[in-house]
Amino acid sequence: MNHERLYETESQLVTRIGKAFLTERVVMHGKDLHHELDHLEWLHLYLFAILGRDPGKNVANMLNCYWVGSSYPDPSIWPNHVAALAGSVRTTPSLGMMAGLSISEASIYGRRPEVRALDFFYRAGKWCEEGGKVEEFVDNEKALGRILFGYGRPLAKTDERIAFTLDKAKEYGFSDGRHLKIAFEVFEHVNSVYGYSMNVAAIHAALAADMGFSCEEYQLLLSPGFVTGMAPCFKDAKARPEGSFFPIRCESIVYHGVGKRNWED
Amino acid sequence: MPSDYVYHSNFWLEEPEESNPFAAKACYCHGYDVYGQIIARAGWFEYLLLMFKGDRPEPAHVVLLEKLALVLANAGPKEASIRAAMNGGVAGTNHSSALMAALAVGSGLYGGSQELEICMRLWQECGQDVEKWKTRLQSPEEDERADIWPAMEHPPGFDPNGDQIPTTLLQSLELLVQFSPESGALAWLSRNRSDLEEFFGCPISISAVAAATLVDLGLDKDQGSMLYLMLRLPGAAVHALEQRKMGWKKFPFYSPAIELEDDPGPYKKAGEEE
C-alpha cells in the first residue's frame, strides 16, 4: 500500500542538516552555530548552509561579487519596481521585498537564465570532454530552437558587470577555469555568427560551473540576490507621497481590443 | 501632456473623467461596460471566463467553472498550501503573507499548479489517446535541460502516496462530469481512470480532475494555472484566520519530532573536560 510510507514520517524527521535546540544551542551541518560558525560572514554562512560544507573564503568572496554586482538601487528594474510599488502603497517591507524576490525567478532575467546557463556550461563542458567542438555544441542548441541564456541581453548591448566580475575572478583565483574559457569561446562564435553580445549570466554561470555548484545549489544561492537593490527602492518610494510612484493615467493604457459592445440579456 | 510611458492591453479599456485623467469614468472589458453593464447583469464566473477567454461564455461553461470552484474552495488543512497559510495565520502574520505562502506552496509539482500545467500541456499532446498518455506520463519533461522547476517525480495528475481514489475526489469527478461535454476531457478521464490507475499503481489526484475540467472550459495551461491558484485561496484564507484565533498553543510545533542523526552535542571549548 502506497500510503504506508507516510506513517514513517508522520511524527518523525531524521536529518543531518541540523536542529534548533531552543534555549540551549543550534547545530548546522554538525557545527555549533554560535560557537563554530560565528566567525563567518553572513553570505559565507549561507553558502555553508546550502552546501553542507565550507567551500572556503575565495568561493564566498567570489559569490559575494555576484550579489554586490547586481545590487542596483534602481526602481526601473522590474523586481525593484515591485518593491517600490509596495513602498508607495504603504505595505510592509517583508511583503514588498518578498514580492520583488519572487518575480526575480523570471525567464528573461534572474533565476531561469542563471540555471539554464549553468546547465548549458556543464553540458558544453561534457561535450568538449568527449572530443566535440564547442561551436558544434552551440549550433546544435540553436538548431533545436533553444535560447542561449547568457548571450544577448534584452535591454542593453553590453553588460557593465562583466569587467567587474572578471577582475574579481582574477583576484580570487577563478580566472583560469575551463568553463570560463568555454564561455568566451561561445561568445566569439555567437558574436561572429549571430551578432550576440554576452551578459553577466554567462560569466556568472561559467564561474559557478568552475566552482562546482549544482543547478539547485546555484538557484538557492542566488535567490535573495537582488534584495539589496530592493530595500532602498522600497524606502525611497515609502518616503514620497502615497501613490506617487509613476502613476498611470487612463489614457496610458493603450487599448488594442474589440470595439464596445452591448451586454444583451 | 500624456506620459512617455504607456501600457498596452488587448482587453481592458479605461476612459478618464474630464476633470481627472487618472480617474476612470468607465472601464470596458473585451468591449463590455464593466460598471455600466457587466456587474449588474453577469455572475462572477461569467465575468471571470469573459476576462480570461475574451467572449461571453456559454452557460454550461459558467456552471462547470462554478462547480470546479466549489470543488477547489477548500482542500482542508492536510493540503500543503492550506497548511502553509495556517502556519502564517497562527503566528498572527499579515493576511497577504498567509495567502502568499499558500500561493507559493500551492505552486508545486506535487499537487500544485505546476503539476496542473503539465497535465494541461499533456492534454494538448495526448488528447484522448490512452496509450500516448501512458508513455508521456512516465517522462513528461519537455527536454533534458535543468530548469528552475525540478523534474517530475511521479506521473503528473496521480498521487504516488495514494492507493485508491478517495471518495471525495471520486464524488467531485462524477459531479463535474455531469456538467461537462459528453466527449470532453473530463468524460474521457472518468472512462479511462481505472485503466490508468492500474497501469501506474496509484490513483489520480485533484490535479488531473482540475486539469481536465479546465481543458473542457477551453482554457490554456497558463490560464488554467492562474485559475487553479486563485480558486484554492478561500480555504487557505479561512483556515489561516481560524488558526489565528485558535492560538499557537494548540498548533503543532514539530521540534520533538526532529531527530538529528549526527548531533555533536553541546559545544566544548578546546581542552574543556567532559
pLDDT in tens, A63-88: 999 999 999 999 999 999 999 999 99
Q: Is the pTM here over 0.90, yes or no?
A: yes
Which DSSP string corresponds to A39-97? Answer: TS-HHHHHHHHHHSS---HHHHHHHHHHHHHT----TTSHHHHHHHHHHHTT--HHHHH
Name which of A74-78, A194-198, A233-237, A258-262 the model is least confident about. A194-198
Residue A199 has pLDDT above 70, yes or no: yes
Cβ-Cβ contacts under 8 Å, B100 against chain A:
95, 98-99, 102
Predicted confidence band of residue A153 (pLDDT cuts 50, 70, 90):
low
Any B CB within 8 A of A102 CB = yes
CA distance B116 to chain A (A): 19
Residues A113 and A149: beta-carbon distance below 8 Å: yes
Please report residues of A whose CB lies closer than 8 A to that of B30.
Answer: 257-258
User: Would the CB atoms of A116 and B146 count as touching at under 8 Å?
Assistant: yes
When CB atoms are compared, the residue of A1, A219, A261 closest to B148 is: A219
Residues B223 and B213: their CA atoms lie apart, in Å, by 12
Q: Chain A closest CA to B213's CA: distance in Å? A: 27
Nearest residue of B to residue A255, measured between CA atoms: B9
Helix (H) or strand (E) holding A116, with range, is helix A111-129
Q: How confident is the model at residue A157 (pLDDT cuts 50, 70, 90)?
A: low
Of B16, B159, B257, the CB nearest to A11: B257
Q: Is B154 exposed, middle or buried (0-12, 13-18, 19+ CB in 10 A)?
A: middle
Q: Are B36 and A263 in contact (CB under 8 A)?
A: no
The HSE-up count of residue B44 (CA atoms within 13 Å, CB side) is 6
Q: What is the pLDDT of residues A115-135, one digit of tens each?
A: 999 999 999 999 999 999 999
Q: A247 touching B, CB under 8 A?
A: yes
Q: How confident is the model at residue A109 (pLDDT cuts 50, 70, 90)?
A: confident
- Tell me which residues of chain B have a pLDDT lower than 70: 1, 273-274
The DSSP 8-state label assigned to residue B198 in this structure reads H
**Between A and B, how many residue pairs show a Cβ–Cβ distance under 8 A?**
158
Residue A88: burial class (beta carbons within 10 Å; 0-12, 13-18, 19+): buried
CB B113 within 8 A of CB A85: no
- CA B254 – CA B87 distance, rounded (Å): 12
Kindly identify which residue of chain A lies nearest to residue B38, measuring between CA atoms. Answer: A263
Q: Which residues of B touch A250 (CB under 8 A)?
A: 14-16, 21-24
Q: What is the mean pLDDT of residues A90-96?
A: 97
Cell numbers at A127, concatenated: 561535450
Chain B residues lying within 8 Å of A22, measured CB to CB: 255
ipTM: 0.93
Task: For residues A248 and A246, give the distance between their C-alpha atoms in angstroms, rounded to a whole number.
Answer: 7
Which residue reads 528594474 in cell numbers? Answer: A77
Residue position matching grid coordinates 499557537? B248
Tell me the three cell numbers of residue A99. 514580492
**H or E element: which one contains B13?**
strand B12-17
